[in-house]
Amino acid sequence: MIQAASAIINGKAVSGDGPEVALLNPTTEEKLTGFAEAGADLVDQAAQAARAAFRDGRWRNKSVEERQKVLRRIADALEARTDELAEIETSNTGIPITQTRGRHVGRAAHNFRFFADYIGQTAGQLYDQAPEHLTFVRRQPVGVAALIAPWNAPIALGSMKIAAAIAFGNSCVMKPSEIAPLSIQRIVEIIHEAGLPEGVVNLVNGRGATTGDALVRHPETNVVSFTGGTVTGRTILATAGSLLKPGVMELGGKSANIIFDSADYERALDGALLGIFTNNGQQCLAGSRILVQKSIADRFIEEFVARAQRLKIGSPFDTSTNLGPVITANQRDRVLGFVDIATAGGGKLLTGGRKAPGFEKGYFVEPTVVLAADPRAKVCQEEIFGPFATILTFETPDEAFAIANDSSFGLVSYVWTEDHYLALRAQEELEAGVVWINTPMMRELRAPFSGWKDSGVGAQSGRDCEAFYTNQKTVTMSRHPLNLPKLGK
């Protein structure tokens, strides 16, 4: 296991003198490692290092071809270390190794390759309508990006932020979650081994209210890219706004997964299970509110529950495991606390709802399914963030859309139907930044990923990241010597 550092500044691990933060293995509850939190002084050193790297142009002034070469080398290096990174991630988060090894590291490599390709195709605008002037618009990097990541998919989400920020020539300071910082720390080391100049990507480790807040407020950070909870996002955007720093916020969700009776039944059932139980249920985009049409509801619910009961709970290092532990004891207690909330709100517990039996150690939670009585009930409205599915039934498409939209969140929606007119109507009606039709999850980096309502502000995609991580500059030139009024002559 790697040794956690307080920070990586100019490519070197640095120790801080802040309070000790211990990192636990959620499977064994044993201490993995720990670090002294980076305080305001280390945040300042990291931000100054990023600024110095930006100012002297060691990265932003490289040709696009040179930047592409480094980004692709990083992608190759990440792939070459798939096993190592997956093991770190699984130890620190409890996400099954089949998922960290099979998808998360590959996604990280893809993030760097995607932005390498993207920057080879960007273009400015030219306006030549004015007879005497030619105006062109170019984009230049914003400077230093503050990047703040959550614990639920650090490799995939953290790498996206770093790749997007640096591809356009920026420097950055990344702050991973204090609960699961190890994989991102290793990625930052690998990035340097792959040849990125020192100082372009820096890292600080610590808690949100201290290290994270200092990073958002630091005068040398120009923009803030945040992924995490809605309450945190509100705080960060308020701070960033008071300093006139743009922020992109990817926040929580309570996404509706609508199963119409016109669905390919088996595929919809598979998709519904994947939608809520992948990543141990800890996904912003989890299909956590399953809406089933009444005509198929009895059969669907019975089979969904039976399949949930058969999920293999176990060590996330075992390749046959479907469900590992949730991230912390607090998270386990929070998730289980929703059982009482559900029943108090008229819901019926169909399965689960306990610590998984047979595990003396580890934050294992049984796959839990609740049939809710009222779409307004708390269990249908709040993000639970664990292996906890809430099911509701509906009669008509209108009712399904109304229930789906009756939420403060609007991250993604899933729709299962073979009726393409109904699918088209659904994507029209649903209030969500992403609608997945007959697919459990597909992250197309070319297209925006954006939460509506309390699920976010701003978007991420090739174009959205270009807009976010660059400033526009409008340049106007006269086409020929102008006949100017000669004031004072």
Q: Can you tell me which of 35, 115, 118, 151 binds ligand NAD, judged by CB under 6 A?
A: 151
Q: How far apart, in whole angstroms, are the C-alpha atoms of residue 143 and residue 165?
A: 9
Asked if 488 contacts 472 with a C-beta cutoff of 8 angstroms, the reply is no
* Per-residue contact string for residues 394-433; x = within reach of ligand NAD by CB under 6 A: -----------------x----------------------
Q: How far apart, in whole angstroms, are the C-alpha atoms of residue 152 and residue 383?
A: 14
Q: Is 212 in the site for ligand NAD (CB under 6 A)?
A: yes
Instruction: Transcribe 80-140 into DSSP letters.
Output: HTHHHHHHHHHHHH---HHHIIIIIHHHHHHHHHHHHHHHTS---EEE--SSSEEEEEEEE
Rank residues 246 and 451 by Cβ distance to ligand NAD and give the closer one.
451
Catalytic positions, please? Answer: 250, 284
* Per-residue contact string for residues 284-313; x = within reach of ligand NAD by CB under 6 A: x-----------------------------
* Minimum distance from residue 432 beta carbon to ligand NAD (Å): 11
Distance of CA 481 to the CA centre of its chain: 52
Q: Can you tell me which of 152, 183, 321, 407 binds ligand NAD, judged by CB under 6 A?
A: 152
Q: Is 234 in the site for ligand NAD (CB under 6 A)?
A: no
Q: Specify the residue for token string 């991630």.
A: 89
Q: Is 252 in the site for ligand NAD (CB under 6 A)?
A: yes
Asked if 239 contacts 217 with a C-beta cutoff of 8 angstroms, the reply is yes
* Minimum distance from residue 74 beta carbon to ligand NAD (Å): 22
Q: Can you tell me which of 35, 168, 364, 385 binds ligand NAD, judged by CB under 6 A?
A: 385
* Per-residue contact string for residues 85-114; x = within reach of ligand NAD by CB under 6 A: ------------------------------
Q: Which stretch binds ligand NAD (CB under 6 A): 98-106, 206-214, 271-279, 465-473?
A: 206-214
Rank residues 243 and 349 by Cβ distance to ligand NAD and give the closer one.
243
Asked if 162 contacts 147 with a C-beta cutoff of 8 angstroms, the reply is yes
Q: How far is CA 311 from CA 322, 323, 360, in A?
A: 6, 7, 19
Strands 452-453, 409-410: pairing kind: antiparallel
Q: How far apart, in whole angstroms, are the C-alpha atoms of residue 427 and residue 415?
A: 8
Q: Which residue is nearest to ligand NAD (CB)?
A: 208
Rank residues 59 and 436 by Cβ distance to ligand NAD and give the closer one.
436
Instruction: Transcribe 239-292 into DSSP letters.
Output: HHHHTT--EEEE-----EEEE-TTS-HHHHHHHHHHHHHGGGG--TT---EEEE
Contacts with ligand NAD: how many residues (CB under 6 A)?
Answer: 31
17 residue type, one letter = D
Applying the rule CB under 6 A, the residues between 304 and 363 that interact with ligand NAD are: none
Asked if 261 contacts 397 with a C-beta cutoff of 8 angstroms, the reply is no
Q: Can you tell me which of 25, 78, 141, 178 binds ligand NAD, judged by CB under 6 A?
A: 178
Question: Roughly what angle, to the nearest 10 degrees, separates helices 154-167 and 462-469?
Answer: 60
Applying the rule CB under 6 A, the residues between 449 and 488 that interact with ligand NAD are: 451, 456
Site for ligand NAD, rule CB under 6 A? 148-152, 157, 175, 177-178, 207-209, 212-213, 216, 227-229, 232, 235-236, 250-253, 284, 383, 385, 411, 451, 456
